[in-house]
Chain A
Amino acid sequence: MPKAAPPTGPPDPPPPADKTPPAFVASLQSAIAGSVTHVSYWVGDWTIVVPATQILNIARHLRDAPDAAFDLCSDVTATDWPPRGTGRFDVVYSLYSTRHRHRIRVKTIVGEHQPLPSVTSVWPAANWLEREIYDMFGVNFAGHPDRRRILMPEDWQGFPQRKDYPLEGPGELLMENPLDWLKLRQAKEEAEIE
């Protein structure tokens, strides 16, 4: 029996006929041309899909426009869809407005080595969140002030939460014997002191 094809992305259904997108989506589309490629509505959440190159302008507009006023960046996260080839990562920004009390999810599609502008200059809350995405998925955030790993050790190779990374860990890449770790660390320290 042929195996079903692996999923290439969430369905992102368009809104049903009786629901109109919130007003700031239209004002975003008129302010920045070509910003919203798709509007979706699913179980009470509005999502807009935007191109990766425009993300910084869109973020600034969403924070500063008076009808949007998204000042709280709740979450920045990524999903890995390997069957998509180029554009395998979905970077999702969950935003909340403390003034109008509404939410929006902004999604971009980004490839493995494609640089994505960092929104840390717009919302400082995204600093560690983007560091975690870099650590776990390897998304290249351009302009991030602090590009280091956050949860894994600094010298870790590989990006653990990608779908092709094994759950049990890298296996023979991992040194089982603590004496090997010590030797490696001594060699590294000697190389740096010189």
Chain B
Amino acid sequence: MSTPTVHHGAMFDTNELVINMGPQHPSTHGVLRVVLRLDGEKVVDADVVIGYLHRGIEKLSENRNWTQIVLLTDRMDYVAAATSNVGYCETVEKLMSLEVPRRARYVRTILCELQRIASHCLWLGTHAMDIGAMTVFLYAFRERELILDLFEEYCGARLTYNSMRIGGLPLEIPPGWDQKVLEFCKIMDAKVDEYEELLTHNRIWLERTKGVGVIDGPEAVAIGLSGPALRGSGVPRDVRKDEPYAAYDEMEFDVPIGTVGDTYDRYLVRIEEFRQSLRIIRQATEGLPEGPIVGKVPRLIKPPAGETYHAIESPKGELGYFIVSDGKSTNPYRFRVRPPSFCNLQALPRLVRGHLVADVVALIGSIDIVLGEVDR
């Protein structure tokens, strides 16, 4: 199905209704526009229109020097900003063949996993609220506040952290921070059980999510899904295991995989990812090595001429950076982000076909998008 539905004055079948789920909508998780062609209540086709939050970060980065771009990467996936920072810094370190000290890699792992839990809390809260479970929203945001407090103590910001530098981190962790992280892990374990108690065997939740948006493994890979959306369809692909970065090669954790590939499986995968993230955080915090927090980095960062692509596992999927350096100027020549939400959102028309309008909302939440990343 390829013809776009956004035609002015097109002659369309009068049995079909074209409805606009406009850029301003409480359930589209940002400025996302979906033009639905409905036959009664069933969706015949959906056309996703994006670009309302396009800020030109890729072109801006060509005019900023390598350290300033860390600030811009924060603003793309603003829900999981530390992961975007880590991805960018790791790509430049790969390009410069820089060695990051072990302590910095461990702290990066802790921050990334805390970010994963925070992002999944926001996902759970908004997804459940879209489907109707309002209590979960407040519970999930209460836990997200605990994580944001930890981040605020570390780097002073709650949303856009600027918490990474090329070669390590700018700040040493404050004294007592690692104890607070371990206490948080204890609290969070009980809370994840609370979320499961509210939703996993809830009859209404099962009715709304089982069998909605089924996509099988090979098709999910072909259409470009990644992250929990892909793992829910049974494909064991996780960048942390396949191409380890930061300190993940020293951590022991499992990667949850679904079976059917419907919304319920994607929900179960993310709930289990909460628990695995807590496991990683505990290992990293208890085994935190001593040492410098930033490696030997030249004062002016000028990677040699060349290009590279490096991917990390953000909470939404495979976040990749393709950076081209011309070796002479202080700015990158080309800065390209492969946003997981952009590539996952491509699958929405395929997932939504044949379902009801209410399932469109459930599926947008199940794919877990952040418009800042989709549009950049």
Contacts and interface: CB of A to CB of B under 8 A. Distances in A.
Interface of A: 4, 7, 10-11, 13, 42-45, 71-75, 77, 79-80, 92, 94, 98, 101, 103, 105, 123-129, 132, 136, 145-146, 148-154, 160-161, 165, 167, 189, 192-193
B237 A98 contact: yes
Nearest to B375: A151
Given A75-B322, A124-B222, A160-B59, 17 more contacts: A10-B305, A42-B307, A42-B308, A45-B308, A74-B309, A74-B318, A79-B307, A80-B334, A105-B309, A124-B223, A124-B224, A126-B224, A129-B343, A149-B51, A151-B54, A192-B8, A193-B9
Interface string B89-126: 00000110100000000000000000000000000000
Contacts of A146: 2, 4
B320 interface: yes
B341 to A, nearest CB: 11
B50 A150 contact: yes
3 closest residue pairs by CB, A with B: A125-B224, A145-B2, A151-B51
Contacts of B307: 10, 42, 79, 92
A94 B63 CA distance: 25
B179 interface: no
Nearest to A11: B305
B320 A74 contact: yes
B237 A72 contact: yes
B43 to A, nearest CB: 18
Interface residues of B, number: 49
B151 interface: no
Contacts of A123: 222, 224
B50 A71 contact: no
A128 B346 CA distance: 7
Interface in B214-230: 218, 221-224, 226
A94 B322 CA distance: 9
B293 to A, nearest CB: 24
B309 A98 contact: no
Interface in B324-362: 324, 326-328, 333-334, 336, 338, 342-343, 345-346
A11 B309 contact: no
B328 A98 contact: no
A71 B306 contact: no
Nearest to A81: B333
Contacts of A80: 334
Contacts of B308: 42-45
A145 B350 CA distance: 15
Given A94-B320, A125-B222, A43 B97 contact: yes
Contacts of B60: 167
A153 B49 CA distance: 10
Contact of B50 (A105, A151, A154): A151
